[in-house]
Amino acid sequence: MKVPHLRWERDRMSQISDFRSDTVTKPTDAMRDAMREAVVGDDVYGEDETVRQLEQLAAELMGKEAGLFVTSGTQGNQVAIATHAGRGDEVIAESESHVFYYEAGAVAAIAGAQLRQLPGKRGVMDPEHIREAIRTPNIHHPVTKLICVENTHNRAGGTVIPEAALRETANIAREHGVAVHMDGARLFNAAVAMNVPVAELAAHADSVQVCLSKGLCAPIGSVLVSSREFIERARVWRKRLGGGMRQAGVIAAPGIIALSTMVERLEEDHRLATRLASELASLPGLEVNLSLVDTNIVLVDIAKTGYTVDEFLAVLAEEGFLATSFGKTVLRFVTHRDVSDVDVDRLISYLSSHLRRPSEVH
């Protein structure tokens, strides 16, 4: 009796246009084949050849000495932060950064450090504000150990940090003996949008975390890259957080496919996001800041429609469209490999027929 039920679930899901996140992407056939055929060993003993290959590939692509395969972007960020900073230290981060907003207070819980939040514009902290925020030696002050940057920036709408801002931030950090960690969950999106090698962006950070399970479509995992010495210390923190994996080649293998074959196609996600943003902006009651659509995320303000966010999401879900709440009046739509122009056509067609004009809202 289970098989028909599963088949029905697959049929039902095939009718849904899922714009919630690029994390919902399914692994490709090549990834599934690679999982089945992966050469494996005990990774805690350093014996999994597939994991080692993935870590080396990621490090080479980003111009670093070594890599560390981790279970998620959050684990990669927190392993890096705990390796850079400790109890009573201070970490500078943008006020709506992922490490502050979406990681369950892990900087305090794991590293024992405190976050100092700075406002950003398009998710970018002003380098001079960073300079001013770095603590001077004083018995009353924590020690500034780390600056975290996020590229692309999720809550800003997938915006890219200009390379000049990255460079200036890195220079200020070096002047003060402070490290830089880049939450590069979608760093390959940034590199594709800027048409530069990803290593050029990674060069401005001492450590970089990249996700394999977002637009690159692997089913699980991220890679943290840095110097060889830093990665060896980070490996201890991964173990402390329960991230020591055994025959992990079966989940690392899709990551190799992701880094080798899925990067260039991110440009298609960006094209689709630009089109989606433009179409949504033309509809009554919807407001989209088109200048923020750098990559594959579209933020839509629905305040003028008269709907609450929950109401709007419920109406969309009834018609087979999924999106995400991103604030009191804001929805997030994310484009990825598993949505297409057909999904956008369906969404725009439905909204064009059903959205009320602001003058009709009472």
pLDDT tens across 314-359, in order? Answer: 999 999 999 999 999 999 999 999 999 999 999 999 999 988 655 5
Final residue in a domain of this structure, among 240, 261, 282? 261
Whether residue 2 is predicted with pLDDT greater than 60 in this model: the reply is: no
What is the per-residue pLDDT for 354?
86
What is the per-residue pLDDT for 215?
98
Cβ atoms 123, 156 nearer than 8 A? yes
- pLDDT-derived band of residue 166, with 50, 70 and 90 as boundaries? very high
- pLDDT-derived band of residue 1, with 50, 70 and 90 as boundaries? very low
Token digits for 305? 């429609």
Same-domain status, 151 and 271: no
Same-domain status, 201 and 111: yes
Q: What is the CATH number of the domain that holds 222?
A: 3.40.640.10
What is the per-residue pLDDT for 357?
56
Whether residue 90 is predicted with pLDDT greater than 70 in this model: the reply is: yes
Lowest mean pLDDT among 7-21, 137-151, 248-262: 7-21
Whether residue 228 is predicted with pLDDT greater than 60 in this model: the reply is: yes
Q: Tell me whether residue 154 is in a domain.
A: yes
Same-domain status, 104 and 197: yes
- Alpha-carbon distance of 124 to 186, in angstroms, equals 15
Mean pLDDT, range 58-69, rounded to an integer: 98
Same-domain status, 97 and 178: yes
Mean pLDDT, range 199-226, rounded to an integer: 98
What is the per-residue pLDDT for 8?
41
- Model confidence pLDDT, tens digit, residues 15-29: 899 999 999 999 999
Count of structural domains, the chain: 2
Q: Tell me whether residue 24 is in a domain.
A: no
- Alpha-carbon distance of 123 to 16, in angstroms, equals 31
What is the per-residue pLDDT for 15?
82
Q: How do beta strands 179-183 and 207-211 pair?
A: parallel
Q: Which domain holds residue 212?
A: 29-261
Same-domain status, 14 and 43: no
What is the per-residue pLDDT for 356?
67
| pTM for the predicted model, two decimal places | 0.94
pLDDT > 70: percent of the chain: 94
Whether residue 111 is predicted with pLDDT greater than 80 in this model: the reply is: yes
Q: Tell me whether residue 361 is in a domain.
A: no
Whether residue 245 is predicted with pLDDT greater than 70 in this model: the reply is: yes
Mean pLDDT, range 257-261, rounded to an integer: 98
Q: Tell me whether residue 362 is in a domain.
A: no
Final residue in a domain of this structure, among 261, 293, 310? 261
What is the per-residue pLDDT for 362?
46
Same-domain status, 113 and 204: yes
